[in-house]
Amino acid sequence: MLCAIMGSVPDTSPAFPVVLGLGANEGEPRVQLVRAIQELRSAVEGPVWVAGLYQSAAIGPEQPDFLNSAVLLDFPREPLALLELTQAIEQRLGRIRRGRWGPRRIDLDLLWAGERQVRSARLTVPHAQLTARAFALLPLLELCPEAADPEDGQPYRSLLPRFHSQRIQKIDSAGWELVP
């Protein structure tokens, strides 16, 4: 719905809709996610819509569950500039890169950018693991129910049955980031 609303506005700028995934499982995950959303709102022009809050089992080594969400925003520059912005936010919020699938104080991933595709050494859009991870796909679909793979047009919603074995639970509705 939100993606459709954004798409109905005349496109007079180079901005494009993008969905970022947010996750944290170290420190105070909910606080870290709220801080990341605040940083994004300060860094971009225009609204930043936020999906509900989900709790999901970690992938990889034994560690606490993650809290996950997603944000939808318009970004006026190239996707690599957005990657640099999200990595700077992660650094300010105390992310330490310790290896693949480990615990994280904050994680911001560019999940999907409408019809845009990026394949480079630094960035892949749509996210390479988007279609395998309920914690990424469910919040994205909450913001953009009609989202589809830009390469083959397959609606992401059609992939939902494959996630029955992944432990994930929606624990709060949209607007959770506004509650003190």
pLDDT in tens, 88-135: 999 999 877 666 667 888 999 999 999 889 999 999 989 999 999 999
pLDDT in tens, 51-87: 999 999 998 788 899 999 999 999 988 889 999 999 9
Taking each helix axis from N to C end, the angle separating 79-92 and 29-43, rounded to the nearest 10 degrees, works out to 130
What predicted TM-score, i.e. pTM, was given to this entire model? 0.90
pLDDT (average), residues 25-54: 95
Say which CATH topology domain 15-178 has.
Alpha-Beta Plaits (3.30.70)
- The rounded distance, in Å, linking the Cα atoms of 178 and 11 is 29
Residues involved in catalysis = 95, 104, 107, 109
- Indicate the helix (H) or strand (E) that contains 73: strand 66-75
- The rounded distance, in Å, linking the Cα atoms of 136 and 74 is 19
Cα-based torsion angle of the residue sequence 138, 140, 144, 146 in order, rounded to the nearest 10 degrees: -60
- The rounded distance, in Å, linking the Cα atoms of 4 and 60 is 35
Structural contact between residues 156 and 143, judged by C-beta atoms closer than 8 angstroms: no
